[in-house]
Amino acid sequence: QSALTQPASVSGSPGRSITISCTGTSGDIGSFDLVSWYQQDPGKAPKLMIYAVNKRPSGVSNRFSGSKSGNTASLTISGLQAEDEGEYYCCSYATSSPVVFGGGTKLTVL
Amino acid sequence: QVQLQESGPRLVKPSQTLSLTCTVSGGSISSGDYYWSWIRQPPGKGLEWIGYIYNSGSTYYNPSLKSRVSMSLDTSKNQFSLTLSSVTAADTAVYYCARATRVVILEYWGQGTLVTVSS
C-alpha cells in the first residue's frame, strides 16, 4: 500500500483536460511544498514533469501544471495529446520516510 | 548533461546480497547539493524509494528496508553503490539510480536494471 493515494486510472479525449489527484496527510503533502510528479512510459525510467508543487523543468510542456490544496496535490494536463499516455506518479517529502510515492495513475488518451 | 548508468548482477539467489553500482557522467558526485538516490519498481507495480547518500557520505534509508540496506560513494570512480542483504523474491524489481535535489526532486534517472531473485 502506497503512502500517497492516486486513482488507478484516468482517461480523456485529445484536446481536453484531465486532472490526477494525489492524497496524502499532514505529515507529507499537507506540510511541505515538495511535491513532484513523474511520467513513465512502459519500459522506461520515470521523467520529472513537475517539482515543488507547480514548477516545470526546462523542456516540459506548459500543458502540464501542478497545484496543492491541503493534503491533496493535483496534476493537470491540458490539450491532451496521444503522447501524454503513460503512468503518472506523485511524490512528496514526508516526515516519516522522507520520500513517499503514490501508487501511480494510468492515463489513457481516448 | 548528467547521465547515470546502473550495473551489477541481474540474478541473485535468495538470502544472498544484491549489489548495484551507479556510474555518473557529466558531473561530479562529490560536489553540489545533490542526493544520490536509489528507487525500485517490482514488475507491474509502482515506485518504491530505497534511500539516498549525500555527497558528504551521510545516508537516509526507507524505514521499511533500513535493516538490510547500505549505500556508499566512490568519488575516485564517480560512482555510488547499493547493497541489499538477505534478499527474497519480493526484492525482484527494476532498480533505478537517480540524482535528486531537495531530496524529492528526482531530476536525472538511470535507465534501470532488472534484478531477479531466484534460485
Instruction: Kindly report, residue by residue over B48-84, the tens digit of the pLDDT.
Output: 999 999 988 999 999 999 999 999 999 999 999 999 9
CB–CB contact A46 B106 (8 Å): yes
Cα distance between residue A12 and residue A41, in whole Å: 17
pLDDT at A1: 64
Q: Are strands B48-54 and B35-41 parallel, antiparallel or unpaired?
A: antiparallel
Rg (CA), chain A: 13
B54 lies within 8 A of chain A by CB: no
Selecting from A48, A89, A98 the residue whose C-beta is nearest the C-beta of B105 gives A48
User: What is the least distance, in Å, from the CA of B92 to any CA of chain A?
Assistant: 15
Q: Nearest-CA neighbor of B38 among B94, B90, B78, B92? A: B94
Intra-chain end-to-end CA distance of chain B, in Å: 39
**Which positions of chain A have pLDDT values less than 70?**
1-2
Cα distance between residue B13 and residue B31, in whole Å: 36
CB–CB contact A93 B60 (8 Å): no
Selecting from B48, B60, B104 the residue whose C-beta is nearest the C-beta of A92 gives B104
- Of chain B, the percentage scoring pLDDT greater than 90 comes to 95
Cα distance between residue A51 and residue A91, in whole Å: 9
Cα distance between residue A58 and residue A107, in whole Å: 23
Instruction: Report how many Cβ contacts below 8 Å link chain A to chain B.
Output: 64
Chain B residues whose beta carbon lies within 8 Å of the beta carbon of residue A102: 46
How confident is the model over B38-48, as a mean pLDDT? Answer: 97
Phi-psi region of B64 (alpha: psi -120 to 50; beta: other; left: phi over 0): alpha
User: What is the least distance, in Å, from the CA of B69 to any CA of chain A?
Assistant: 14
How confident is the model over B86-95, as a mean pLDDT? Answer: 98
CB–CB contact A99 B104 (8 Å): yes
A3 lies within 8 A of chain B by CB: no
How confident is the model over B85-102, as a mean pLDDT? Answer: 97
Cα distance between residue A54 and residue A67, in whole Å: 6
User: What is the least distance, in Å, from the CA of A49 to any CA of chain B?
Assistant: 9
Output phi, psi for B91, to 5 deg. Answer: -90, 0
Residue A66's beta-bridge partner residues? Answer: A75
Chain A residues whose beta carbon lies within 8 Å of the beta carbon of residue B38: none
Q: How far apart, in Å, are the Cα atoms of B57 and each of B54, B72, B84?
A: 5, 7, 18
Residues found in chain A = 110
> Which residues of A, range 52-71, sit inside 8 Å of B by Cβ?
52, 57
CB–CB contact A104 B48 (8 Å): no
Residue carrying the nine cell digits 519500459: A43
How confident is the model over B113-117, as a mean pLDDT? Answer: 98
Other C-beta atoms closer than 10 Å to the C-beta of A63 total: 14
Residue of A99, A100, A106 to mutate, interface with B, max B Cβ within 10 Å: A99
